[in-house]
Amino acid sequence: MTYNVKLFFEDDHEAAITCAPDEDVISAALRQGLILMSECREGVCSTCKCFLADGEYGELMSHSVYALSPGEAEEGYVLACRLRPTSDMEIEFDYPFSMVQQYEETERRGSLDQIEMVSDTVARVVVRTMGAQDPLRYLPGQFVRISLTNGVSRDFSMANVPDDSRRLEFFLRVYPDGEFSSYIARDASPGEQVTLYGPRGKFILRDNDRTPVFIAGGTGLAPVLAMLRDLAADRPAQRAVLIFGNTNVGDVFGAEELKVLTEQMTNLEVISGVLNPDDSWTGEVGTATEIAQKYISGTDRSQFEYYYCGPPKMIEATTQMLETIGVARELRHHEDFVPSRMEESHG
């Protein structure tokens, strides 16, 4: 016995697959040649989150509360990689069908080209991929999994736009006990080999006329920089807003990059804030979410579309804030920097 599963995409495109009773929707789609957006396929990353418009299932397989909160589950959201239908189904995805075809994961060999601390807690890392392989093609906002030769692997978002230079730029938050980041900050040296898997993720700029409001917490600025750099090249007159929050003044980075962007994009408004100011601080005070709320509530927000990225607590707070002020789900897109050692399972 199989179930008929209809898939609906953001651009009104439809697809149909069948799903065996012991099969999850991502695997069933793959078996039938459709690569739906997914990364971990273990209920951790939330990339496969979608809306169940119709149909039944027993219980989602085990997953992280960061990937799907109980509130979202109640609203009807599911994780396709954890979903085994027990009836025919209709599922809605918040990305266009073109993403299904474009998403082809590849592996690239590369080496660490530059490593420099750009604030007390953030390192800028440039990886150069091997000349023997094609340059990595990705959409601004996507990320790769970087694997070190010592076996530690973590996800990091590209901050630059794809080009033929083979150069990928990353901003890493350095945690004193972080397996990946402290190794990079203390022990790694240029020339060291790395392997990249990707591109992954669907945190990309939607192609419409709305004003993007980016809310970045710490190194959550990385994918936002990629999107802004892409806008600066393609649509420099586009109105855009960036709210960039950090905990301490010493954490703040990216001033040079943002200065270049504001010169290139005449309608880019950048609002920077910290939670713990010192005497030198002249920007806003508060969390990224609080500063965003203040900005949004004092402005005509009818044309805004929101893109937010950062650590789980910031994502949770921002989602809650946007929900409270009545922002529709389809106007909210986020990337949650779930740290791999904080993955918490339930279900």
Ligand X SMILES: Cc1cc2nc3c(=O)[nH]c(=O)nc-3n(C[C@H](O)[C@H](O)[C@H](O)COP(=O)(O)OP(=O)(O)OC[C@H]3O[C@@H](n4cnc5c(N)ncnc54)[C@H](O)[C@@H]3O)c2cc1C
User: Contact positions toward ligand FES, by CB under 6 A?
Assistant: 38-41, 43-48, 67, 79, 81
What count of other Cβ atoms lies within 10 Å of the Cβ of residue 99?
Answer: 19
Q: Tell me how far, at minimum, the Cβ of 44 lies from ligand X, in Å.
A: 8
Place of tokens 């990364």: 39
Is 213 within 8 Å of 267 (Cβ atoms)?
A: no
Site pattern 209..248 for ligand X (x: CB under 6 A) = ----------x--x--------------------------
- Helix/strand/coil for 132: coil
Rounded to a whole number of angstroms, the minimum distance from the CB of residue 140 to ligand X is 13
Instruction: Report helix, strand or coil for 117.
Output: strand
CB of 121 to ligand X, least distance (A): 9
Cβ closer to ligand X: 57 or 308?
Answer: 308
| Cα angle 272, 270, 268; round to 5 | 175
Say if residues 289 and 306 touch (Cβ distance below 8 Å): no
User: Least distance from C-beta 42 to ligand FES, angstroms?
Assistant: 6
By beta-carbon proximity to ligand X, the closer residue of 147 and 340 is: 340
Which 275-314 positions form the footprint of ligand X (CB under 6 A)? 311
CA distances from 27 to 85, 256, 278, 345, 347 (A): 12, 44, 52, 21, 20
**61 vs 118 by CB, closer to ligand X:** 118
Which amino acid, 171? Answer: F
| Residue among 223 and 273 whose Cβ is closer to ligand FES | 223
Which positions lie near ligand X, rule CB under 6 A?
A: 45, 143, 154-157, 170-173, 175, 177-181, 201, 219, 222, 311, 335, 337-342
